[in-house]
Amino acid sequence: MALSLFKSLMIPKTASVYPLKWRNRLYALVALVFLSVIIIVLASSIGSTQVPFSTVWGILLDRLPLVNLNPARESVTETIVADIRLPRVILASLVGAALAVAGATYQGLFRNPLADPYLIGVAQGAALGATIGFLLPLRVTSLEVVPVFAFCGALLAVAIVYSIARVGKTLPITTLILAGVALGAFLASITSYLIIASGDRLHGIISWLLGRFSLSNWGQVTAVTPYILMGVAVIWLYARPLNIIQLDEEQAQQLGIDVERVKLMLLVAATLITAAAVSFCGTIGFVGIIVPHAIRLLWGPDYRFLLPLSTFAGAILLVLADTTARTILAPAEIPVGVITAFLGAPFFLYLLRQKKRAIF
């Protein structure tokens, strides 16, 4: 399995017989990988204390084993970059990647261009979990309790939706979406009530709901990385079955795909990475729905390219958005969800204008 994942990224030996489009997509992927690294370093250099680009490279390379540049640097600079900015930037890139991949997966799984990672109750479950976390009487630990509650709330909500929608051995997609929307509305109404009743803790809840990275640290990165890496890897592996499911379920079965198994695997993986992504930073909108569509418009619908391309594009978009969010009104911060839509929507509308053919 690891081998095929690796192979999917290599230019095949027989590349000459493959369509030209495939090679263009591979070049795009390589370019996006490089770009995301550069954006991560650049974002770590920008902020209230400007750190030169080259210094950030030095600090980063120094952290690698066997590298010792040993330059004369102020330890304050190093702390700002390595312990404050970098975890935040890395977390933003992980969350962006997770949301974009989950969005692409849900759109494919549901064969619905309107699907986003929050369609079947993840967001509302996480929001209710987080709100309960904020309101618990044990105030001292609310920062640690909230992510756990959000994560569990998200998973619980999807599990309920899944068990309601399941009919015997099959999972009808339309029922799943409707159950998700209905349960989501129910949970959201409870959350709204709790927020109104919350009094002085209103601000914390609202800021979580709108999405924020201001409290990031390496602990959070360590906590979410395994879920996101594992989930994204599983989804990448299922790229080809996901392509076949774009036909319809009967044709996919007639082409040898065990559709119910593929649906379950993808649903679990996408839900897990979404839950991990929202647990610390709140429900950041827009990335999950727009990034896969933009990639589809630019490089086509083949999930073997769409998923890796969305991963890196999602990371880039969210790092850019978060950097903007923390610098534009510094020292104040804007919720990152506000920026994703403000940056992403005009770009997406531009793409829509450029390509007037079918988009899904």
Residues that bind other proteins (CB under 8 A): 1, 4, 7-8, 12-14, 17-19, 21, 111, 237-238, 240-241, 243-244, 246-248, 250-251, 253-258, 262, 296, 300-302, 304, 357-360
> Is residue 316 a contact partner of residue 133, using CB atoms and an 8 Å limit?
no
φ/ψ (deg, to 5) at 355: -105, 105
Closest by Cα among 75, 80, 86, 76 to 37: 86
Q: Write out the two tokens for 39.
A: 């954006």
CB of 341 to other proteins, least distance (A): 25
Residue closer to other proteins (CB basis): 105 or 340: 105
From CA 232, how far away is CA 102, in angstroms rounded?
Answer: 8
Residue closer to other proteins (CB basis): 200 or 250: 250
CB of 164 to other proteins, least distance (A): 21
CB of 20 to other proteins, least distance (A): 8
| Residues in Cβ contact with 251 at an 8 Å cutoff, skipping those fewer than 6 apart | 244
CB of 248 to other proteins, least distance (A): 5
> Is residue 99 a contact partner of residue 117, using CB atoms and an 8 Å limit?
yes
Residue closer to other proteins (CB basis): 14 or 68: 14
CB of 83 to other proteins, least distance (A): 39
> Is residue 183 a contact partner of residue 157, using CB atoms and an 8 Å limit?
yes
CB of 165 to other proteins, least distance (A): 19
Residue closer to other proteins (CB basis): 171 or 257: 257
Residue closer to other proteins (CB basis): 30 or 330: 30
Closest by Cα among 17, 1, 101, 111 to 305: 101
> Is residue 325 a contact partner of residue 95, using CB atoms and an 8 Å limit?
no
Residue closer to other proteins (CB basis): 141 or 251: 251
